Amino acid sequence: MDKIEKRIIISSLALMGLFVFSLLYARNKYKSDVPECLPYDKAYSEPKVTKLDDKTYQVFSVAQMWQFQPAEIYIPVGSEVDFYLTSKDVVHGFNIAGKNVNMMAVYGAINKTTVKFDEPGVYDIICHEYCGIGHQNMRAQVIVNYPSAK
Ligand SMILES: [Cu+2]
């Protein structure tokens, strides 16, 4: 093997190691969560919000030309939300403004991520993957209210 080939292989391995280290470091230091891909199941293609307990919710979000369903998601402050995302047609993007969420909605696939909403406010969900003529109108909202009085 040529000396230069060896150096290129060693450099490539070192870069791959650095890449994996960076991913793990970011995951631990910034608590960033890498989206999961789940096996397709029809149960995920019905848009809904499910309350598991006072601070835990599941959102089954379905993207289609040119809307997200559900379009408005109401949750209390401090909630942890599992987003399950799929598409009814083409590939759409799923970005929650102000949160570290950047997913693709793909027909026949389910992507999942978990987001914690500690601050009250209105978080826009926007499609950031060009999906056709109505793409710019494709949005939804997560409305994080103060906790309701008991
Ligand atoms: Cu779009």
Region of residue 48 (left: phi > 0; alpha: psi -120 to 50; beta: else): beta
| This prediction's pTM | 0.76
Q: How far is the CA of 112 from the centre of ligand 1 (A)?
A: 19
Residue range 112-137, pLDDT digits in tens: 999 999 999 999 999 999 999 999 99
How far, in Å, from the CA of 106 to the mean position of ligand 1?
12
Query: Ligand 1 centre from 137 Cα, in Å?
Result: 8
Q: What is the CA(13)–ligand 1 centre distance, in A?
A: 37
Where are the strands (E) in 8-135, listed by range? 36-38, 48-53, 56-64, 67-69, 72-76, 79-87, 92-96, 101-105, 110-117, 121-126
pLDDT tens digits, residue range 80-110? 999 999 999 999 999 999 888 889 999 888 9
Q: 3-class SS at 123?
A: strand
Which tokens go with 54? 């006072």
Vertex 75, ends 74 and 79: CA angle to 5°?
A: 160
CA–centroid distance, 140 to ligand 1, in Å, is 12
Give the Å distance between the CA of 126 and the centre of ligand 1. Answer: 8
Mean pLDDT check: name the lowest of 14-23, 26-35, 84-93, 121-130.
26-35
Structure tokens at 89: 């047609």
